[in-house]
């Protein structure tokens, strides 16, 4: 699933192609990709507007429009946004096309059809409850410590909770916990202040590193030009099964379920107690 670094890469690489462009049409091959408002209203309100900006909040993309409304896209499990020309053949699994002037198309490609688009007047109605952005100045070790106080859930599950911290999912939670040498099942409230500082630094490091490598193409993620990201080549534990060894100590990487999500970790570098 695309997480913060993948969505950030899409934002960065889509932005120069679309800002200032006018929406000239919408083609839907899968109508249920439009969650809000009705398909008819979505299209009629969107067409004719200019895209004035593109931002990311958590794993959401927010396209601002001349009317003040916001087009919000969530890529969910398998979505990508590809940029191409109007004459180009839609890529396989394209569920929607947003046609722009100057011969530009945004292709919403989504093999598993979980992705959604919303057109709203107030973005906060969708993203208002998200937790802090981990790469913003507001996210400090002190804030992380405060939010972890008395939490009894496994720290891995807490990191994947979008209302706790925005943008982190299965892959980068595993990577950050490995980098901080913290077992995924540790209770959030049990971390020492030193461990919280390590975790804070690890979260920022793994996310920045993945952004610099244009996201991880472990699954279906593509950059807007259709090429792959390379962040997964830096992964130490995430998706490393099949006899993969810890790069630090040589112990085989293990996988355990944490709230039904597979979690990869090194049992020696990340002891449970």
Q: Which residue is nearest to Zn ion (CB)?
A: 246
- CB-based contacts of 237-243 (< 8 A; 24+ apart in sequence): 237/174, 237/175, 237/178, 237/264, 237/265, 237/266, 238/170, 238/171, 238/172, 238/174, 238/175, 238/264, 239/171, 239/264, 240/264
Query: Smallest distance from the beta carbon of 206 to Zn ion, in angstroms?
Result: 16
Taking alpha carbons only, the member of 254, 239, 58, 258 closest to residue 155 is 258
The smaller minimum CB distance to Zn ion, of residues 176 and 269, is found at 269
The smaller minimum CB distance to Zn ion, of residues 144 and 246, is found at 246
Query: Smallest distance from the beta carbon of 267 to Zn ion, in angstroms?
Result: 8
The smaller minimum CB distance to Zn ion, of residues 113 and 244, is found at 244
Query: Smallest distance from the beta carbon of 236 to Zn ion, in angstroms?
Result: 9
Taking alpha carbons only, the member of 47, 95, 101, 90 closest to residue 74 is 95
Which residues form the catalytic set?
A: 2-3, 59, 261
Query: Smallest distance from the beta carbon of 268 to Zn ion, in angstroms?
Result: 5
**What distance in Å separates the CA atoms of residue 89 and residue 31, rounded to the nearest whole number?**
20
The smaller minimum CB distance to Zn ion, of residues 71 and 266, is found at 266
Question: Which stretches of the chain bind Zn ion, using CB under 5 A?
Answer: 246, 248-249, 251, 266, 268-269
């Amino acid at each position: 699933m695309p997480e913060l670094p993948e969505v950030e890469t899409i934002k960065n690489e889509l932005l120069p192609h679309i800002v200032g462009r006018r929406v000239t049409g919408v083609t839907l091959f899968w109508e249920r990709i439009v969650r809000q408002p009705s398909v008819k209203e979505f299209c009629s309100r969107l067409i004719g507007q200019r895209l004035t900006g593109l931002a990311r909040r958590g794993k959401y993309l927010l396209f601002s429009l001349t009317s003040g409304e916001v087009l919000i896209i969530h890529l969910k499990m398998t979505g990508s946004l590809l940029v191409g020309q109007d004459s180009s053949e839609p890529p396989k699994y394209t569920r929607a096309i947003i046609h722009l002037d100057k011969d530009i198309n945004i292709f919403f490609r989504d093999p598993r059809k979980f992705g959604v688009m919303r057109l709203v007047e107030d973005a906060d109605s969708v993203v208002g409850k998200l937790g802090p952005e981990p790469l913003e100045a507001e996210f400090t070790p002190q804030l992380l410590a405060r939010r972890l106080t008395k939490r009894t859930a496994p720290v891995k599950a807490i990191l994947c909770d979008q209302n706790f911290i925005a943008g982190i999912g299965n892959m980068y939670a595993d990577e950050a916990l490995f980098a901080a040498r913290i077992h995924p099942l540790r209770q959030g409230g049990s971390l020492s202040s030193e461990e919280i500082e390590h975790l804070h630094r690890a979260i920022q490091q793994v996310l920045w590193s993945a952004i610099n490598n244009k996201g991880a193409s472990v699954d279906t993620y593509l950059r807007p030009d259709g090429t792959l990201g390379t962040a997964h080549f830096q992964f130490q534990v995430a998706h490393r099964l099949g006899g993969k060894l810890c790069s630090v100590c040589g112990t085989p990487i293990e996988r355990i379920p944490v709230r039904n999500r597979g979690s990869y970790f090194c049992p020696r570098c990340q002891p449970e107690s």
